[in-house]
Structure 1
Amino acid sequence: MNERDSLILGAFLHDIGKFYQRTRQNPLKYKDVEEDVYGYGGAHGKWGASFVEEYIPPVFRDDNLINCILKHHKPTKVLETYVHRADCLSAGMDRTKAEERGDPYTTPLYCLLENISLKDRGKRSKYSHKLQKLSLEKDKIFPVETHKNTIDSSSYNNLWNKFTEDIEKIIKKDNFSDYFFTLYYIMEKYTWCIPGAVYVSIPDIPLFHHLKTTAAIATCLYDTRGKEEFILLEGDISGIQDFIYQINSPQDSMKDTAKRLRGRSFYLSLMNETFGDYCLNALNLTVVNKLWSGGGHFAILAPSTEENRRNIEEIEDKINSFLFKNYQGDLGFILGIVEFSSDKLKDFSSLLKEMGKVLDRKKKEKFFRQITEEDLIFPLKKHVCPVCGKDYEENSDICFLCEDHKELGEKLPKYKYIYKINSTEPVNSIIKFEDFYTYWDFKPEGKLVTGYSINNTEFLEKPEDFNRAGFIFSGNHVPGTEYGTIKTFDEMADSSEGANFLGVLRMDVDNLGMLFTLGLGEDRPEDVSQSRKSISRIASMSFSLDLFFSGYLNKICEDFENLYITYSGGDDLFIAGAWNEILDVAKRINDEFYCYTGKNPELHASGGIYLCKGKYPIKRAAEHAADALENAKKETDKNSLNIFTCNVSWYKMNEVYSFAEKLLTYLEDNKITRTFIYNTLHLYKKDRTLFTLMDNKITRTFIYNTLHLDEKDRTLSIPLMSKFLYSLKRNIKDEAVQQELKNMFSSLWAFAPVWAGISMLKTRK
């Protein structure tokens, strides 16, 4: 094995000894090595070196690898120094000041998301993660109350035994690239829940993300010969939303729309992975250098060298030429570049802020070279696709891309694996990115095959089918019929309770950019051993959000019969389904996300819901839902749902929904009538327009103050209040119901469109 590979593997495994040591097992080798060899605080290096001897294939085992692990606290050679320095830079710390003062055998990994704050609420450690291998099950990935989270050597032993079982499954691999790639996913599966270090500050960085970023930094140090100069790359595919919902007309595109949308969304995920991997290969980097990937963008840490600068220009140019040629400007690609030195790694948030400015500027220059240098004439082709409206040459009913997207969307829920085939020769596959020699299919074909288990971390069940393996999380839940087919939008709408409407939900996390750049807080005197804004902590934050939206969202939707995840990933989602289930799942997602973040009141998502018929053009429905989401975010604290053109704070939503259900019960028991609710809603609309008609010459507050009304009565305009009370008396005979409705209307009047809309739609026949 060459020197560079030894360094990368050594950096990636430099702290694996902490995992081994916490089992309280004695290392089989190196147990007699003294501190003058491994250095102060570096005893875990003995366990790490022993792990190499016990579990790493002999073909990859050499002195460089062992010494990078054993001596990374007290380096004596250049490679060991690179690992030592990368270790410090990953955590944004000064090794001379770092000292583990907690109990590494019993201290859990605290919930990172619990401490994200723009208001400096102070450090919280109420929630932490259990020692469990990574999966999408709630009891595995959701944090629990720390005082109930018992961790001891038996917990570590159980996890270690499962870990080494998977490690032994790849012991016979002899290609380093394939071995390292597969090892990466095994490490993620088992070390995502282990605290990397137990310092004075809260231990909320997973061991995996510390190991990953240490290896990425060490690679850069090696390639720059220790100059500590880096490049942060961020790739971003633009035009995604318009591309997904690109439908020519409702009549021609109705058939297989749901499958095609799901396929397009996943197609873009595969495109993003293809572009990210192409960048890694062009820069001679490994998977550890890809800091995060999802939602149509990826980030890579690369060494700052003259060769890489040239390669980066060629990468962006090649990707844009491919997109320009094949999508005629519908999809674009920008590659942001920020060069920096090692001191900036202590405040990685500032680099993200700088990157945001770079990307904003480059979005205005999209396709600049293609427009100025390439032929802008696209020859007219034989046919026009009735689905997407693009012209094409093939003698078929629709263009090949729309056909591929339909097939992809149809097969995605049925297969456990998807395979990436790298080949310089054409491959018969569903998805082809021939310019990048990359093909994707649900069946392995070819010599260089990467197998990804979909939404399942048990990815080593069929190691004979691929050279390397991993797993991906993707929102791919679809509603099935009793005949084994996927429900159409029409069928989902017809399955709604009451009125046959399709609901469209869009949600995303509020203030995400600010949370990444400012939410980790400022370093304090007690944080001398570890920076709050380190690269490893930010990588972990990105992972945590994507795990919920790309992965766990499937588990939520499985509890419903008529929901279709069209898109999810990063920090946002798009779901279509029966309108009543869309409302229920929106509430459920909000409640689950609150628990997932350690009940952090500052980390929340807003949503927008639009209702339409099953045959309504999905592109327009998506646009309306986006408008609703934008309106929800106009609330002071955001954290709201917009439905029936009305914003409801999530804090108020349960009360509003419960009132709607109570109205529904009264309707079913004939205690109130639909006419009464309709008339009440009519009064609400008049109430909202009354003062507008007065040309804003007086205000509602002026009238209330003039009449000395109590605060609790400030819900309905005075001219309309008598009409409401009259309607209440005339239409409802039960005095107890009268009083209850009067009280509820008083506190929930502002949300009348929501509770009235829900109760009316659920009782429509």
Structure 2
Amino acid sequence: MVKLLPNVYGYNNPFSTMEYADLHKIVIAALLHDIGKFSYRGGTPLSDIFAEIDRDQTGWTGSHAKWSADFVHRVLKDDLIEDLVLHHHHPAGAEHKHYAEIIQEADHISSAMDREPREGEGDVRTEPLKSIFPCIAQPQGTGNTKERYYLPSILSLDENPFPLTMEDVTRYQTTLTRSYDILWKNFMREAEILIKNPHPDTVTALLKRFTARIPSAVYKNEPDIPLYDHAVTTAAIAHCLTVSENENPFLLIQGDLSGIQHFLFDVDTPQDARKGMAKRLRGRSFWLQLFMDAVVNEIEETAGLFAPSVLWNTGGKFLILAPNTPTICRQVEAIGRTVNQHLLDRLGGRICLVLAMVETDKEGLKDFQATSIRLTDETGRRKVRKFADCIVTFTATGENRPLDAYCSVCGGVLDDSGICQSCKDHASIGTRLARARYCVRSTRNRHPISFQEFGLRTSYRLTEEALPEPGDDIFSINDTRCQVPGGGARGSMFIGNTVPVVNNDILTFGNIADLSHGAPRLGIIKADVDNLGRIFAFGLPKEKRSISRIHTLSDQFQFFFAGYLNRICQEFVVFHDLCENCRAKVPASERTLITDKDENGASGKQYVLYDTEDVCERCRDKAVSKFYISYSGGDDLLIIGPWDAALDLANRIYEDFRRFTAENPEITLSAGLAVVSPRLPVSRAVALADDLLESAKINGRDRIAFFDFECVGWRDGRNGYERGFSTLLKSGKDLEEGIKKGVISKRTIYTLLRLWTQTYDDPSTVSFEETTAQRIRRKRYLPHLKYMVVRNVEKKNRETIEQMIIPVFPWIKLPVYWASLRMRTDKR
């Protein structure tokens, strides 16, 4: 049965009553208009019916359209889509001329925004996709001028995520034709899911998997825009041009969820809320992610949008490009008002959805920076008027209950089991997420994770098996493959979902602390990208500040923080239930006894976790990550783990992030790392990590602050004297090794800390740079240090110890803390 497009677009619009199927196909045609470039680069021969078509029919710059039409003819077998992609450079020859003109105009708008003319001509056989990161430079900087590239490949967590130099590219292969050929054949195999009237969102997901690492244009333009990003923005623009006849046909809708930290970590009675906190915290974080997806999906469903219209939805923020019509504006306002009223009534205003909109014309879309600033200003105005359009009740509601009838975490009413429904739901989500491979979404079927109480029709289900019901959308988690048959949308989502799971249960924070060597402490890592707002607003050169490049930049950060972080965290592991041979090789010092506890704190089953790398192939599947990703996505992260492994992880994240961003000195990361007792309420531990992160930012950025607000750069300073985090961490391990070998005593280690305090710990309010300079200049510790070494270290080892300590002495706190905490025996 043909579904008609709802008349939400109003005002004598000839497309108000167009067949919904036509709009559906226009969007798909816009997505696939340049897919022929992909097949052509792989050397795919044309079918006979398209080989005979000349340039008079496709346009002089549109020969690739024959390959696009050939793909549609072979796979989709849809005459309308085939007609539109074949003639998108020459609409006069199209049977559906008006639709072809729309796609042509959308392509021109997107291309005009994206493509930068180049000197000379490019060659698709030798030039891969350029990384966007080297060209980013903030106003006062110059950025990194050495280009980086991606070989044609699938977008996947299993592939190498780091861009290569051109020297590396040519070392791997002299021509890219073979890579394109292999990639195209894999694409064609998976494109079978598109048969029989595919959903535009499914087409979008497939393009993201296979075309996010290949350039849109090479011959006359710089190859820095992925084909996927050009296709998506073209489809979003075409949708707007098809539906809106307004002189400003585009509507940018920005959503910002305010109060995330407060919702996640503030609990009513922290001391009583420790039990089950690990499950609830992860569940709460993912609940918020699904909540924002539900808001976006409500706007999509109401306004008749598809996935290409959602430019990004990460880190509690989203941006949608929609047709500008009065009805859509009213509907978006109504959605925001309804959701916020429920948030105010049910959550007491802990979180608030801020929705802002600005309309623009084609020129405004091309000057995306100026339009983005207008949108940010409008969002800021609305943020200071939270819940202004909601009904606020000042009279008492509900019923009187004793204090112990309320949840110690969120203040909700406890049920007969002694747990409130909200916390029970969050704990269930946290448990299921650790094992889930798919997230099912529907506005028709009622699934366990529902947002109907907030005025949203969407509900979700986390599952290990892909068994969708009719009308369900299904998304694979951290896997860009989603070969699931059915009529709904198919896609993927990156989620930081790594948690330590044993026997289908998440380890408690106390258990995680026990995985530390020495003192049982937790390490709380909180980090984010420095000056991200300025990078998005001003980082790209003015002529490159287009929606497609911003879309690319957002996708890249999301891939790293929501996806790739899982890979890093899964390399820091212990093992459970080893075979007898592997178990025999693990010394007692590398074994941790874990005791299961129920929700009431009663002890249950005990088991041992083994900290080793020497395991057989069969036992490798029994790995348990040491880390608990509370949240990661957008540009920030919060990770909890054993304190010593957390220090190593922080260093690894930074180094991989710099490689990922092409070593551009203008794209940096700052972090705060709190080392705390597992008995400290999580909200206070996170607040401490947040304070440390703020200290790192205040003291110059591109730094990490830890322990008692010691702040250092990640790498050694260019002056040759300042020591960075990675060097100090290695020094700490050297000191620990010296203690184990009896070369230096524990007492000597503590003496170093006292000597440092006598030398540097005088009250001071000078800047970080001046503090660093003072540490480098002051040498009065040297006589005391040499005397201490003579008194406490054997003569044969003195020179080694001095070479180990003297270069790092101004920053000796980290090495001393590392060695002293690792050598404690108050646990095992």
Q: TM-score normalized by structure 2? A: 0.83
- For 1:490 and 1:329, the matched residues in 2 are separated by 32
In structure 1, the residue matched to 2:576 is none
2:149 maps to which residue? Answer: 128
Shift of the 94–672 alpha-carbon distance from structure 1 to 2, 3 Å rule, reads: closer
Q: Is the 8 A contact 1:420 1:450 kept in 2?
A: yes
Q: Which of 520, 534, 537 matches 2:549?
A: 537
- Flag the 1:296–1:676 CA change in 2: closer, same or farther, 3 A: same
**CA offsets, 1:189-232, max 9 Å, x none?**
11111101115553111100100000001111112237453121
- The verdict on how the C-alpha distance between 1:595 and 1:331 changes in structure 2, with shifts beyond 3 A counting, is same
Instruction: Determine the C-alpha separation between the residues in 2 that align with 1:438 and 1:585.
Output: 37
Q: Partners in 1 of 2:252 and 2:534 — Cα distance?
A: 19
Does the alignment pair 1:670 with 2:691?
no
Q: 1:690 corresponds to which letter in structure 2?
A: D
* SS in structure 1 at match of 2:389: helix
1:82/1:226 contact within 8 Å kept: no
Q: What count of residue pairs does the alignment treat as equivalent?
A: 728
Looking at structure 2, the residues matched to 45 and 638 of structure 1 have their Cα atoms a distance apart, in angstroms, of: 47
8 Å CA contact 1:549, 1:572 repeated in 2: yes
Indicate which of 458, 474, 478 corresponds to 1:438: 458
**Cα pair 1:244 1:264 within 8 Å, conserved:** yes
2:86 to 62, 65, 70: 70
Matches within 5 A, 1:90-489: 90-93=110-113, 101-118=121-138, 119=140, 121=142, 124=145, 126-139=147-160, 141-149=161-169, 150=173, 151-172=175-196, 174=197, 179-198=199-218, 200=220, 202-225=222-245, 227=247, 229-371=249-391, 377-380=396-399, 382=401, 384-392=405-413, 394-423=415-444, 427=446, 429-434=448-453, 435-443=455-463, 446-460=469-483, 462-463=484-485, 467-481=488-502, 483-489=503-509
Q: Which residue of 2 aligns with 1:761?
A: 821
Note if contact 1:137-1:552 (Cα within 8 Å) is conserved in structure 2. no
Return the alpha-carbon distance in structure 2 between the equivalents of residues 204 and 456 of structure 1.
25
Q: CA deviation at 1:430?
A: 3.8
Change (3 A) 1:148 1:701: closer
Say whether residues 1:517 and 2:537 are aligned partners. Answer: yes
Query: 768, 792, 796: which is aligned to 1:731?
Result: 792
What do the CA deviations read for 1:648-678 (whole angstroms, capped 9, x no partner)? 1111222111211111121112222222221
RMSD: 2.7
Structure 1 residue 99, shift from structure 2 partner: 10
In structure 2, C-alpha distance between the alignment counterparts of 1:334 and 1:557, rounded to whole Å: 33
2:753 to 681, 706, 723: 681
In the other structure, the counterpart of 1:707 is none
Measure the CA separation in 1 of the matches of 2:807 and 2:414: 62
Asked if residue 546 in structure 1 is aligned to residue 558 in structure 2, the reply is yes
Residue of structure 2 equivalent to 1:11: 30
Query: What is the aligned-residue identity percentage?
Result: 31
Corresponding residue for residue 526 of structure 1: none
Residue pair 1:234, 1:297 contacting (<8 A) in 2 also: yes
Question: What corresponds to 1:708 in structure 2?
Answer: none
Q: Deviations over 1:682-734 (max 9, x none)?
A: 23223334365xx99xxx999x9xxxxxx99944464x554444333322233
Aligned partners of 1:506 and 1:585: how far apart in 2?
A: 12
Q: Distance in 2 between matches of 1:22 and 1:153?
A: 6
Match of 2:607 in 1: none
Q: Is 1:566 aligned to 2:613, yes or no? A: no
**Any conservation in 1 of the 2:124–2:219 contact (CA below 8 Å)?**
no
CA distance in 2, matches of 1:553, 1:188: 20
Counterpart of 2:810?
750
Shift of 1:278: 0.8
Match of 2:54 among 7, 18, 34: 34
SS at match of 1:357: helix
Q: Call closer, same or farther: CA 1:359–1:632 in 2, change over 3 Å.
A: same
Specify the code of the residue in structure 2 equivalent to 1:225: E
Can you give the 5+ residue segments of structure 2 that lack an aligned partner in the other structure? Answer: 1-18, 574-625, 716-723
> Structure 1: any 5+ residue segments left out of the alignment?
524-531, 705-710
Q: Give the deviation of 1:608 after TM superposition.
A: 0.6
The residue aligned with 1:619 is 683
1:270-321: CA deviation from partner (whole Å, max 9, x where unpaired):
1111111111222221111000111111110112222222222112112212
Deviation at 1:633, TM superposition (A): 1.1
What is the rounded CA distance, in whole Å, between the counterparts of 1:557 and 1:608 in structure 2? 18
Q: In the TM superposition, what is the alpha-carbon distance from 1:570 to its structure 2 partner?
A: 0.6
Residue range with higher mean Cα deviation, 589-598 or 618-627: 589-598
SS in 1 for 2:738: helix
- Deviation sequence 1:621-668 (CA, Å, 0-9, x none): 000001111111123343434444211111122211121111112111
User: Once the 2 structures are TM-superposed, how far is the Cα of residue 138 of structure 1 from its aligned partner?
Assistant: 4.3
Indicate the SS of the match to 1:105: coil
Deviates more, 1:513-522 or 1:195-204: 195-204
C-alpha spacing 1:122/1:594, structure 2 compared with 1 (3 Å): closer
Is the contact between residue 407 and residue 414 of structure 2 (CA under 8 Å) also seen in structure 1?
no
- Contact 2:134/2:143 (8 A) holds in 1: no
- Amino acid across the alignment from 2:179: S
Report which stretch shifted further, 81-90 or 562-571.
Answer: 81-90
CA distance in 2 between counterparts of 1:671 and 1:731 reads 9
Q: CA deviation at 1:124?
A: 4.1
The secondary structure found in structure 2 opposite 1:436 is coil
CA 1:376/1:297 → structure 2, altered by over 3 Å: closer, same or farther?
Answer: farther
Question: Is the Cα–Cα contact under 8 Å of residues 298 and 457 in structure 2 kept in the other structure?
Answer: no
Provide, for residues 323-365 of structure 1, a one-character-per-residue CA deviation record: whole Å limited to 9, x for no partner. 1222110111001222222112233233333332222221110
1:549-601 per-residue CA deviation (whole Å, 9 max, x = no partner) reads 00010000001121111111111110001001111110111111111112222
The one-letter amino acid of 1:590's match is Y
1:13/1:125 CA distance change after superposition, 3 Å: farther
Q: By how many angstroms is 1:375 displaced?
A: 6.6
1:689-708 equivalence runs, <5 A: 689-690=761-762, 692=764
| SS of corresponding position for 1:610 | strand
Q: Comparing 384-393 with 549-558, which one deviates more in the overlay?
A: 384-393
Output the CA distance in 1 between the equivalents of 2:146 and 2:181: 25
Structure 2: how far apart are the matches of 1:701 and 1:629? 20
TM-fit CA distance, 1:169 = 2.7
Q: Alpha carbons of 1:378 and 1:722: their partners in 2 closer, same or farther (altered >3 Å)?
A: farther
Which stretch of the first structure deviates more once superposed, 292-301 or 727-736?
727-736
Q: Post-superposition shift, 1:607? A: 0.8
Q: Which one-letter code corresponds to 1:566 in the other structure?
A: S
Aligned partner of 2:10 in structure 1 is none
How far apart are the structure 2 equivalents of 1:534 and 1:579? 42
Alignment CA distance shift 1:254-1:94 (3 Å) = closer
Change (3 A) 1:381 1:240: farther
SS state of the match for residue 209, structure 1?
Answer: helix
Q: Distance in 1 between matches of 2:342 and 2:468?
A: 24
Q: Is the 8 A contact 1:348 1:538 kept in 2?
A: no
